[in-house]
Amino acid sequence: MKKIVKNAILVDKNINKVGEIKIEDGKIVEIGENLSFDDSYEIIDAKGKTVMPAFVDLHVHFRDPGFTYKEDLKTGSLSALRGGYTTVNTMANTKPICGDLETYNDIMKRAKELDLVDINQIVAVTENFDGKNLVDYSKFENAKFLSDDGKGVLSETTMYRAILEAKKYDKIIMIHAESELSPIDYRIAEDLMTLRDVYLAKRLDGRIHMCHVSQYNRLFGSCKTWEKRGSKGYL
Residue 127 and residue 234 share a domain: yes
What's the number of domains the chain is made of? 3
Contact between 74 and 104 under an 8 Å Cβ cutoff? The reply is no
Residue 226 and residue 139 share a domain: yes
How would DSSP label each residue in 192-214?
HHHHHHHHHHHHHT--EEEE---
Bridge partners of residue 145, in order along the sequence: 172
User: What CATH number has the domain bearing residue 190?
Assistant: 3.20.20.140
Rounded Cα–Cα distance for residues 24 and 41 (Å): 9
Residue 141 and residue 63 share a domain: no
Domain boundary among 96, 122, 148: 122
Q: In the prediction, which pLDDT does 213 show?
A: 73
Residue 232 and residue 129 share a domain: yes
Task: Write the CB contacts of 131 (distance below 8 Å, at least 6 apart in sequence).
Answer: 148, 151, 153, 154, 155, 158
Residue 128 and residue 36 share a domain: no
Residue 113 and residue 139 share a domain: no
Q: In the prediction, which pLDDT does 233 show?
A: 44
Q: In the prediction, which pLDDT does 230 show?
A: 54
Residue 151 and residue 178 share a domain: yes
Residue 175 and residue 96 share a domain: no
Residue 206 and residue 107 share a domain: no
pLDDT in tens, the chain (235 residues): 899 999 999 999 888 999 999 999 989 999 989 999 989 999 999 999 999 999 999 999 999 999 999 999 999 999 999 999 999 999 999 999 999 999 999 999 999 999 999 999 999 999 999 999 999 999 999 999 999 988 889 999 999 999 999 999 999 999 988 888 888 888 888 888 989 999 999 999 999 999 877 666 655 555 555 555 554 444 4
Q: In the prediction, which pLDDT does 235 show?
A: 44
Instruction: Provide the domain limits for residue 35.
Output: 2-51
Q: In the prediction, which pLDDT does 20 show?
A: 94
Alpha helix (H) ranges present in the chain? 73-82, 101-114, 156-168, 186-204, 216-228
User: What CATH number has the domain bearing residue 12?
Assistant: 2.30.40.10
Q: In the prediction, which pLDDT does 35 show?
A: 92
Q: How high does pLDDT run on average in the chain? A: 90
- pLDDT tens-digit profile of 90-103? 999 999 999 999 99
Residue 107 and residue 71 share a domain: yes
Residue 234 and residue 137 share a domain: yes
Q: In the prediction, which pLDDT does 232 show?
A: 47
CA-nearest of 169, 166, 173, 121 to 147 is 173
Q: In the prediction, which pLDDT does 221 show?
A: 57
The sign of the torsion formed by the CA atoms of 87, 67, 138, 179 equals: positive
How would DSSP label each residue in 117-148?
SEEEE-B-SBGGG-SSSBP-GGG-TT--EE--
Residue 157 and residue 221 share a domain: yes
